[in-house]
Structure 1
Amino acid sequence: MAGRKKHIVILATGGTIAGAGEPGKNTGYVSGQISAEDLVASVPELSEYAEITTEQICNVNSDDMTDKLWIALSNRIADLQTDETVDGIVVTHGTDTMDETAYFVSLTVKCEKAVIFTGSMKPATAKDPDGPANLFGAVRAAAGFAVDDDPPANLVWVYFAGELFDARSVQKCSASAINAMGVSAPGEGSNWNALKEQNFFDVSKLESLPRVNVVYFTVDANPKILEYAACVSDGLVIAGAGAGEFSLAWAKVLESIDIPVVIASRTHHGLVTINESLAPGRICAGRLPPQKAAVLLKLVLTQTSRTDDIKRVFAL
């Protein structure tokens, strides 16, 4: 290929893409066993498109991701954004919480260079692993190939099974399909303006984030769950039924909870509207699914605990 190859840095965090188990099997593996260096070595075609540097941020199952690891990853990406020798960044990550981490990075790093998350549904030791193809596609995207239009500034992407998704709308939509990643508002497209206008949060001097827990409503769910969750949280997200609904018993307990509470929907798709008879004065998650509402609430709480201020951020 003519001209200078793009320099892409791969930041590895573990996940199924780095998983290992019985050769040829898709199940029974352990995530986060293979190094970033070995992942790249398994895809020799990468050298045709980019000069690759690897860094191991961590090597964990994405269900074991923590606020501290988020902050470390975000700060490293921010450093690489200012490195003139770097053209793009790829993050390998487990699929279970990839949408949360990608969203966190999109809110904490102003990206002029592409940041592409990717992972896999099969371990590296599977008979036909999907990780190599996803890593190949993510590097190509980070290097400027296979993207029709220039991505908007301040946007983080997820590349998976041949598709690019923006960090605000992406989520894992299947527990088992190879094309497991999708969008939380299918058919509506991406709201690029909202993405670019979204508040950004400086986490460079933080060691941890406020504690936010998600409480899931079901038929006849014990309202004491809310009481307990409030005792161990700085803020709560309620994953309500439908457009964020829950029982009158929950509404009664909610009256006595004095920390910020965001109302989201367990359906994941569609718009939440606050039912003022159930949750007067509480915060509406809009189109954010519960897990992403929790990410945003954590970050807002680093700046303010005033409900009116939090409402303005969630309204963007």
Structure 2
Amino acid sequence: MTTPLIVVVTTGGTIASTVDADGVSSPTLGGGALVGAAAEEAGVRVRVVEALRVDSSTLTLDDAWTVVTRVHEALADPGVAGVVVLHGTDSLAETAYLLDLHHADARAVVLTGSQRTSDHDEPDAPANVRSALRTAVTGSGVLVAFGGRVLPAAGVVKRHTTDLDAFAAPDGPLPRAVLPAADGPWPRVDVVTAHPGMDGVLLDACVAAGAGGVVLEGLGSGNATPAVVAAVARARAAGVAVVLTTRVPAGPVATTYGDGGGGADLAAAGAVPAGRLKAGQARVLLAALLRAGADVGPGFATRG
């Protein structure tokens, strides 16, 4: 039996980081150093492709698209059994979802990383990499293998800043939608989080900054204030798409509250509910739709 070949795409992050004399970590390790003995333990061969070497908090949509491109290039080889992406945890959920939105292959793409640097006394990377490599052989679709869990990309969130079991899918698997690849620049898409008594200044500022879309992270099931409703209406009149999600960790948006600033009022002003998608992945979907020139209407919620 031929040993499965897995392409490992590296991007930096904590898994590629070491700590300097001042106690500050930064990504210093190249791709080959990150797989170690995990490939032999997982029973696979690996080909390493270094796409990036950065902290994932700095990733732009162009950077994330570079990862998508490297994954597609790897899967163009029929001899590749699957792909593993080593990624920083800060924006792993966003890159995973961008991959999921553009993944129409039966083979698995598995993202993982680590909470501890590679030079930690008890690193978590080896176990995560082993799990990801094994999952890349046996799984399908875009997945996150981390801290003993294997989760679907759509709906995954980072649930804890330091726990080794860092990711969860609080609402379970979400509907999948595969989008066509698009060229051209990414639109600016901002995220604004609502708070009690909020005015419309932040939304207006996004429009003034040239945003093509805004994700509004509402209170409760997707509520805000009359001032925010008015700002949403101004944004829509200026041609800016507004998607409504919630800052609550689990549960869908429900546009049922009124009283001038509730979800029903926001929807009437032109905000499109995001269903169960949370802000980070809603932003990725909105940006991808805008870039492709696709509809950002009521069907948005069916993707989340």
Give the Cα–Cα distance (whole angstroms) in 2 for the partners of residues 223 and 39 of structure 1: 46
**1:1-316 alignment to 2 at 5 Å?**
3-22=1-20, 28-41=23-36, 44-48=37-41, 49-144=43-138, 151=140, 155-185=141-171, 189-191=172-174, 194-195=175-176, 198-203=177-182, 206-232=183-209, 233-258=211-236, 259-274=240-255, 275-280=263-268, 281-304=270-293, 307=296, 310-316=297-303
Q: CA deviation at 1:241?
A: 0.6
TM-score normalised by structure 1 residue count: 0.87
CA distance 1:311–1:304, shift in 2 (3 Å): farther
Q: Deviations over 1:42-75 (max 9, x none)?
A: xx24224111110110011110111111222112
Q: CA deviation at 1:90?
A: 0.3
CA distance 1:199–1:108, shift in 2 (3 Å): closer
CA distance 1:207–1:277, shift in 2 (3 Å): closer
TM-score normalised by structure 2 residue count: 0.90
Q: Structure 2 stretches of 5 or more lacking a match?
A: 256-262
How many residues matched? Answer: 290
Give the Cα–Cα distance (whole angstroms) in 1 for the partners of residues 233 and 88 of structure 2: 38
Give the Cα–Cα distance (whole angstroms) in 2 for the partners of residues 207 and 40 of structure 1: 34
What is the one-letter code of the residue matched to 2:100?
Answer: S
CA distance 1:114–1:172, shift in 2 (3 Å): same
Q: Secondary structure at the match of 2:18?
A: coil
Q: Which moved more, 1:32-41 or 1:291-300?
A: 32-41
**Identity rate, percent:** 28
Q: Secondary structure at the match of 1:125?
A: coil
Q: Secondary structure at the match of 2:110?
A: strand
Q: CA deviation at 1:311?
A: 2.2
Q: CA RMSD in A?
A: 1.8
What is the one-letter code of the residue matched to 2:68?
Answer: S
Q: Secondary structure at the match of 1:250?
A: helix
Q: Structure 1 stretches of 5 or more lacking a match?
A: 145-149
Q: Secondary structure at the match of 2:234?
A: coil
